[in-house]
Structure 1
């Protein structure tokens, strides 16, 4: 093989390796399914909604090499705010953890692994805040994403959701997403 051909083949091999590694990182849940509706268990309690406000069980596998921590986000890009709605942001989940139990997003339940930090959601409280789209808005998408991080994050105590998202994405080695749906009856 000529030097030129070898140089041209190397980027293609790297892209194939990255694609193979990216496909290996997977997020699953026993409480929800990709493209399917959430239940009232994941509906918020307040703002006119009367659900159980339970964060769903999440499990992940195939994290990229070098993962030092994880972050989990739940985000509604369809919220009529101009910037979506952050339902959950958890950072610094230890690298040895590969799942969160149903209800782990409720700080009072103390189900989060040691070291994990739940940021304020857009309801203004730490932890998970369930789905509660405005009536008449139709179906909203709820994107649950786990990020594999190259390092734990040092964030100010009052970091905004935008700053938290920026720092997570700047340190992400990979991510996996499940997108569920919800519409108020």
Structure 2
């Protein structure tokens, strides 16, 4: 544990009873509702299992994005939206760590196995990856921002939400999640989520 984590631990203990309103999770956003179901998985961690520390954010880990795979992508998918969210923060709203818009056409390394599935390699959610555009997330941060539970606060769950869109959103025109939601409304063909956890 780093010195910064040690210093923050008493605050985490103090706030253990506080969690964000779960109904405000993107999982329940009407704008992101879709008829289809995507199956989201990872070779980095199993659904409901612990996320390795190397996938943690700066100051806690190496901030390396985990591998993600999704299947069940409907015909007509033009873009894939990935949102990483922590609903266990001691704030009024869940914290969105990452908002990424991914080209579903794949790349030269063959991330996509066929027309109905896709993936991102471990470490692929970087600002230099031309397959990915970013919408500003919490505190206007772009790119992958890994788990960073408040030390002493207990277990935080992290949802890796994946959406198949029938349109192409322009990340440069979106200032954040509030701007993205109305643009995505009516364009979600299918959705799925993979959940992991880390202990603060």
Common fold: TM-score over 0.5? yes
Match of 1:111 among 126, 129, 137: 129
Unaligned runs of 5+ in 1: 1-20
- Per the TM alignment, residue 70 of structure 1 is displaced from its structure 2 partner at its CA by 0.7
Residue by residue over 1:134-157, the C-alpha shift from the partner in whole angstroms, topping out at 9 and shown as x without a partner, is 122111110001100010113554
The alignment status of 1:173 with 2:189, answered yes or no, reads: yes
DSSP-derived class of the 1:106 partner? coil
DSSP-derived class of the 1:176 partner? strand
The count of corresponding residues between Structure 1 and Structure 2 is: 156
Unaligned runs of 5+ in 2: 1-34, 107-117
- Per the TM alignment, residue 163 of structure 1 is displaced from its structure 2 partner at its CA by 2.2
- Equivalent residues of 1:121, 1:129 under 8 A apart: no
- State the superposition RMSD in angstroms: 2.1
Superposed, 1:30-41 pairs within 5 Å as 30-41=43-54
Higher relative contact order (CA 8 A, sep 6+): 2
Give 1:55's aligned residue. 65
Residue by residue over 1:10-59, the C-alpha shift from the partner in whole angstroms, topping out at 9 and shown as x without a partner, is xxxxxxxxxxx835x2111111111001111111113xxx2011111111
- Equivalent residues of 2:133, 2:171 under 8 A apart: no
Q: 1:171 to 1:163 in 2, by over 3 A?
A: same
User: Which has more radius of gyration?
Assistant: 1
Match of 1:94 among 100, 103, 110: 103
Q: 1:51 to 1:155 in 2, by over 3 A?
A: closer
The alignment status of 1:79 with 2:89, answered yes or no, reads: yes
- Taking the aligned partners of 1:155 and 1:181, their CA distance within structure 2 comes to 28
- Per the TM alignment, residue 125 of structure 1 is displaced from its structure 2 partner at its CA by 2.2
